[in-house]
Structure 1
Amino acid sequence: MAKEVFNRHENKYLMNRDSYEKLQEKLLYYMDIDEYNKTNEMYTICNLYYDTKDDHLIRTSLSKPKYKEKLRIRAYGVPKEDEEVYLEIKKKVYGLVNKRRTTIKLEEAYDFATTGIKPERKEYMNKQVMNELEYMFKVYDLEPKLYLAYDRKAFFSKINRDLRITFDTNIRTRRYDLALESGDYGESLLEENQWLMEVKAEKSIPIWLSRLLSENKIYKISFSKYGAEYKKMLLSNQPQKGETKICLKQYSILPQLRPLYL
């Protein structure tokens, strides 16, 4: 049975292909390749994010509060409506990420999100997570807002399986045709050959990894895929001369690099 509850710290790093290739080669001394990557160089993750009509969840997230949350449907590859996917709540509280998810069929997830009424209980569903999702659907009037997919390569520590590193590339998004079964396509979010690395650990990262990042001049950034797409959308929708303008200084698309002091 796949893991359904995660509590961890997540650090993110942006790099080019050359840095990615050099780093992943060195990681193999300490880490194993994810099962999904043993048959394919990359595997694809497709997400459908839900938010309120006025984008309350992502706007709150971008204001960097102590507590924030997101809700999404996640599939590995392009699913059919009768296939199982994950319905997930992702929260961040004082820097600690808590992700809770349940297995659910795609058509059940759509109905649940639309009506707020839980589907008939199935053995593959997580009862507690379903109750939490029901509560969230009552609190917020949610609707599908963003399709977001990417190709991933992942590694697990040989010593501590709670340490996981993922590399995501070819991040694509769309705000139309919002159905996972409609296919995997969209506009590129980042420049070509850019890679987003995420280090996911329940505790602090090991010394060998800190040293490896420092030696390769790879620095931690603040970055959210959904947040970056939202900021990009706002900038592309800037009003023409004579129309009302909004302040977008706080929504700079490019992440600010800052050293990770070791």
Structure 2
Amino acid sequence: MEFDKHCVDNTNYHIYSIYYDNDNNDVIRHSISKPYYKEKLRLRSYKITKNPNDIVFLELKKKINKIVSKRRIVLTFKEAIDFLENGIRPSSDDYINNQVLNEIEYYLHTNSVHLSVFIGYSRKAFFAKDNHDFRLTIDSKILTRREDLSLSSGYYGKDILENNQYLMEVKILGAIPLWFTNILSELKIYNTHFSKYGTEFMNYTKQQQLNIQRREQLC
């Protein structure tokens, strides 16, 4: 395999996202119940935003019967905040961009969501030399927080992985190459499901329960 173009000089790059949910966390509760259809809204950047003109990506991630699709639009940080917080729609002459904006606008109209969770991580990504549809990513330092929710606030929070743990994802449109299947078999690596946001929510719920128990003991 060879490094993804985003891994400049074969180094990791970073991904920072703010997820939107309501006060009851209904979006993530629905998501981890493994429904036939689910969707999440997130604001994503590949660097800590320093000024209003920095580029960000507003995404509506959908999953229908295990098939994932992303509706994404590129905006400035200011355009994204004006749209999400003040309802000021960005102007665009592009048909696809307007379609994405229509979908996100409808989602915001039908779902009372707000800034909920920050999730940032370091990523190393590869493509197969003979098949660029076969992509492998290794994520580490998956830091999350539920306060100071801005892409400009920096990369910090609680790591949802244990020490020396990594999240490896294999992304491919067709069959996994035989050589890679053999490696997985030899190392006894098996397929499993892992959601960064879902894991963060489960950890958050456990902590909330512990806090309640502690308060009850004090009383």
1:154 is paired with a residue whose SS is strand
Please give the per-residue CA displacement for 1:205-242, whole angstroms capped at 9, x wherever unaligned.
22222221111111111110000000000000112179
For 2:102, the aligned partner's letter is: N
After the TM superposition, list the runs of 4 or more consecutive aligned residues in structure 1 that deviate by more than 4 angstroms.
none
The aligned length equals 213
Structure with greater contact order relative to length (CA < 8 Å, sep ≥ 6)? 1
For 2:2, the aligned partner's letter is: D
The equivalent position to 2:16 in structure 1, one of 29, 33, 46, is 46
Q: 2:69 aligns to what?
A: 98
1:183 paired to 2:154: yes
- Mind listing any 5+ residue stretches in structure 2 that lack a counterpart? none
Map 1:25-174 to 2 at 5 A: 31-80=1-50, 81-121=52-92, 126-174=97-145
Instruction: Compute the displacement of 1:204 (Å).
Output: 2.9
CA distance, structure 2, for counterparts of residue 53 and residue 127 of structure 1: 29
Contact 1:73–1:85 (CA under 8 A) maintained in structure 2: yes
1:162 is paired with a residue whose SS is strand
- Structural RMSD (CA): 1.9
**Is the helix fraction higher in 1 or 2?**
2
Q: Alignment identity in percent? A: 46
> Structure 1-normalised TM-score?
0.76
> Structure 2-normalised TM-score?
0.91
Q: 2:187 aligns to what?
A: 216
Q: 1:234 aligns to what?
A: 205
CA distance, structure 2, for counterparts of residue 106 and residue 242 of structure 1: 40
CA distance, structure 2, for counterparts of residue 179 and residue 242 of structure 1: 30
Relative distance call for 1:171 and 1:122 in structure 2 (3 A) is farther
- Mind listing any 5+ residue stretches in structure 1 that lack a counterpart? 1-30, 244-262
CA distance, structure 2, for counterparts of residue 105 and residue 194 of structure 1: 34
Q: 1:260 aligns to what?
A: none
CA distance, structure 2, for counterparts of residue 38 and residue 105 of structure 1: 23
The equivalent position to 1:195 in structure 2, one of 148, 153, 166, is 166
Contact 1:68–1:92 (CA under 8 A) maintained in structure 2: yes
2:123 is paired with a residue whose SS is strand
Please give the per-residue CA displacement for 1:18-63, whole angstroms capped at 9, x wherever unaligned.
xxxxxxxxxxxxx211112132521111111111221111000011
2:130 is paired with a residue whose SS is coil
Contact 1:85–1:103 (CA under 8 A) maintained in structure 2: yes
More displaced 10-residue stretch of structure 1: 140-149 or 184-193: 184-193
Instruction: Compute the displacement of 1:133 (Å).
Output: 1.0
CA distance, structure 1, for counterparts of residue 215 and residue 121 of structure 2: 38
Please give the per-residue CA displacement for 1:130-157, whole angstroms capped at 9, x wherever unaligned.
2211111111111000010000000112
Contact 1:170–1:193 (CA under 8 A) maintained in structure 2: no
